[in-house]
Structure 1
Amino acid sequence: CALMSDIIFIYTTVSSKEEALSIAQKLVDEGLIACANINDTMTSVYRWENKVNIDSECSMILKTSQTNKDKLQIRLNELHPYDCPCIAVIDINEINPAYESWLLGELK
């Protein structure tokens, strides 16, 4: 396995599977991500504007490179429906070389 990969994952949440699919398709089309994993069965409990909320959300893992990180974060903020979205960067220290090669080859 390759060590100290150029691959990063970005984690975010949105309120529906439709929003997640729309964002993912745009980001893949634009070459900012190679792949998005969408989980549409999550419940979030959080405080917003002094009120505790319990909502259904979709989590997204967006797979990209360090090179695309800044452009992706800017574009995700533009596309994201939330006023204050979680956009968390996860460094990938080790990944199998064949997958890394495929992923990097899909990016612009």
Structure 2
Amino acid sequence: MLRTLSLQLHSVVTGSYVSGTYSIVFANCPNEQIARDIARAVLDKKLAASVNILPKASSLYFWNGEIEEATEILLLIKTKTSKVHTLSSYIRLMHPFEIPEIFSLPIDRGDAHYLKWLEESMKEE
């Protein structure tokens, strides 16, 4: 939490982007309707600025000691790193899987205009 606050303060004071201020969250969904519902919900809550829905990802994974295979829908969710925990918890509440795949990667670099748009898109009104 303190690291996130110091990154935000540094970005504001210097006007430069600090690596890790924003993240991409990955989440798999069992079908397109659930993916769209989750995407709209996180956008409505201002937990993300943008969500890409990538159709028909083939997934192979271990479940209960067996290799399973499924077709899933992948969400790429762009958000502030400081919101990742809340976003993940919110997705878990909506998600039908017992253990949904939710993980994040920090954004190392990005277009300054896009990153500014990310910030502005998640401002609470």
Q: TM-score, normalised by structure 1?
A: 0.92
Of residues 45-54 and 18-27 in structure 1, the stretch that sits farther from structure 2 once superposed is 45-54
Following superposition, the deviation at residue 103 of structure 1 comes to 0.8
Do 1:39 and 1:58's aligned partners in 2 also have CA atoms closer than 8 Å? Answer: yes
Over the residues paired in the alignment, what is the CA RMSD in angstroms?
Answer: 1.4
1:19 corresponding residue in structure 2: 34
In structure 2, C-alpha distance between the alignment counterparts of 1:45 and 1:5, rounded to whole Å = 30
Higher relative contact order (CA 8 A, sep 6+): 1
Misfit runs of 4+, over 2 Å: none
Q: Choose between structure 1 and 2: higher helix proportion.
A: 2
Q: Deviations over 1:42-95 (max 9, x none)?
A: 111112123322111011111100121221111111111111111111010101
Percent sequence identity over aligned pairs: 21
- Consecutive unaligned residues of structure 1, counting only runs of 5 or more, are none
Match of 1:85, as an amino acid?
P
In the alignment, which of 107, 112, 119 is matched to residue 92 of structure 1?
Answer: 107
Match of 1:86, as an amino acid?
E
In the alignment, which of 85, 90, 101 is matched to residue 70 of structure 1?
Answer: 85
Q: Choose between structure 1 and 2: higher strand proportion.
A: 1
In structure 2, C-alpha distance between the alignment counterparts of 1:69 and 1:91, rounded to whole Å = 10
Q: TM-score, normalised by structure 2?
A: 0.80
1:31 corresponding residue in structure 2: 46
Following superposition, the deviation at residue 28 of structure 1 comes to 0.3
Of residues 44-53 and 75-84 in structure 1, the stretch that sits farther from structure 2 once superposed is 44-53
In structure 2, C-alpha distance between the alignment counterparts of 1:52 and 1:7, rounded to whole Å = 34
